[in-house]
Amino acid sequence: MSDWLLLILTMIDATVRVATPLVLAALAGLFSERSGIVDVGLEGKMLGAAFAAAAVAYVTGSPWLGLVAAIAAATALAMVHGLACITFNGNQVVSGMALNILMAGLAPTLAFAWFSQGGQTPLLGPGRRFEPIALPFADAFAQIPVLGEIYGRITGHNILVYAAAVSVPLVAWVIYRTRFGLRLRAVGENPSAVDTAGIFVGALRYRALLCNGLLCGLAGAYLSTAHGAGFVRDMTAGKGYLALAALIFGKWKPLPTLLACLLFAFTDALQARLQGVSLPVLGQVPVQAIQALPYLLTVLLLAGFVGRAMAPRAIGIPYVKER
């Protein structure tokens, strides 16, 4: 019994760790896509932020300054995306892919030039990373048999994990309960109506991208200064794309998106667990098949359950005022 509980708790733990960047990135994508701008560039923004966080945290010795740098880097990239999509009416998917390719090259290039460690930043020692923090009453709960086990898993994560947890209801509140959120949703559905109401479509979308950059920055900083200890080349490893898939699977709504992220993260935790284990019916499954599980799951879910995804209606179309 207690073995099973432990297994479940370990799985939950692993799920939370993997889900954190996915949730943050998917919510970042939510701001952008709900305002009518496709965001394939989550991967690149996260990677850029991860590098900025690790580099600044190493040089200054403070993960907080690293976080600021990560947010600045991701926001700058989001603004480049905005320039392409809003100001120049460019192709949004291409802009996103360009950011991904650019950062896949630029981050290791800068790392190589500045730290000469073969394209990664030096290992971040204690004090340069976000450490686990104990929630109140952690010691008191630890005495209680089952509850203590459970609370022991809730406490002891780093601050960015809690930030991700808080950001879900916060984003839901912003999107559904504030004036900014109402306008944001409107501009993604029918920008000309918003324009007619006297609201500047471009400015609204730029603001959505600012929120996008902020959240991408958090996601990137989590990867290199909380979950990992330094920047490694290609450390996002497809998480940006998975986050985008989770967003679509979650139908561009905060809570379902969270659930989709948790599902993907759980699959990932499962694949780490299943490697080398012999399964009842299938026998020994190749590692690669298990590693491909989240991607296969995405395809199956998109094909089977979501059906025709109801995207924001104006998504992907640059807004040009009638002449």
Partner 1 sequence: MAASRDTPAWVDLVLLPALNLAAAFVVAGLVILVLGENPVKAMGILFYGAFGYGEAVGFTLYYATSFVFAGLAVAVAFHAGLFNIGGEGQAYLGGLGAGLVCLFLGGLPPILVVPLAMVASALFGAAWAYIPGYLQARRGSHIVITTIMFNFIAAALMTHLMVNVLIKPGQQSPESREFDPGTWMPFVHELAAKFAIAVAKSPLNLSIVLAIAVSIFVWLFLWRTRWGYALRVVGHNETAAVYGGIAPAKVIIGAMALSGALAGLVGVNEIMGVQHRLILNFTGGVGYVGIAVALMGRNHPIGIALAALLFGALYQGGTELSFDMPKLTKEVVVVIQGLVILFCGAFEGMFRPQILAMLRRRRLQAAAAAGA
Q: CA triplet 224, 132, 44: central angle to 5 degrees? A: 20
- Binding partner 1 (rule: CB under 8 A), the pick from 12, 57, 216, 244 is 244
Q: H/E element holding 3?
A: helix 2-34
| Tokens encoding 322 | 């009638």
- Binding partner 1 (rule: CB under 8 A), the pick from 18, 73, 80, 258 is 80
- Binding partner 1 (rule: CB under 8 A), the pick from 123, 170, 296, 317 is 296
- Binding partner 1 (rule: CB under 8 A), the pick from 59, 68, 72, 110 is 110
If one asks whether residue 176 binds partner 1 (CB under 8 A), the answer comes out as no
If one asks whether residue 260 binds partner 1 (CB under 8 A), the answer comes out as no
If one asks whether residue 90 binds partner 1 (CB under 8 A), the answer comes out as yes
Lookup result for tokens 């019916």: 281
- Binding partner 1 (rule: CB under 8 A), the pick from 40, 50, 52, 204 is 40
- Binding partner 1 (rule: CB under 8 A), the pick from 309, 314, 317, 319 is 309
Cβ distance to partner 1 smaller for residue 95 or 225:
95
Cβ distance to partner 1 smaller for residue 198 or 307:
307
Cβ distance to partner 1 smaller for residue 160 or 248:
248
If one asks whether residue 307 binds partner 1 (CB under 8 A), the answer comes out as yes
Pairing mode, strands 278-279 and 283-284: antiparallel
If one asks whether residue 321 binds partner 1 (CB under 8 A), the answer comes out as no
If one asks whether residue 99 binds partner 1 (CB under 8 A), the answer comes out as yes
**Phi, psi angle pair for 279, to nearest 5°:** -90, 155
Q: CA triplet 219, 224, 265: central angle to 5 degrees? A: 55
If one asks whether residue 109 binds partner 1 (CB under 8 A), the answer comes out as yes
The residues near 65 (Cβ < 8 Å, ≥ 6 apart) are 56, 57
Q: Which residues pair with 279 in a beta bridge?
A: 283
Angle (deg, nearest 10), helices 159-177 and 2-34: 50
Question: Which of these segments, 55-63, 91-99, 126-134, 193-201, binds partner 1 (CB under 8 A)?
Answer: 91-99
**Phi, psi angle pair for 278, to nearest 5°:** -90, 125
**44 near 96, Cβ under 8 Å?**
yes
- Tally of CB atoms within 10 A around 119: 17
Smallest distance from the beta carbon of 98 to partner 1, in angstroms?
4
Smallest distance from the beta carbon of 233 to partner 1, in angstroms?
8
CA 177, distance to chain mean position in Å, is 23
| Tokens encoding 73 | 């880097």
What's the CA gap between 97 and 265, in Å, rounded?
24
If one asks whether residue 134 binds partner 1 (CB under 8 A), the answer comes out as no
Binding interface with partner 1 (CB under 8 A): 40, 80-81, 83-85, 88-95, 97-106, 108-110, 112-113, 119, 238, 241, 244-245, 248, 286-289, 291-292, 295-296, 298-299, 302-304, 306-309, 311
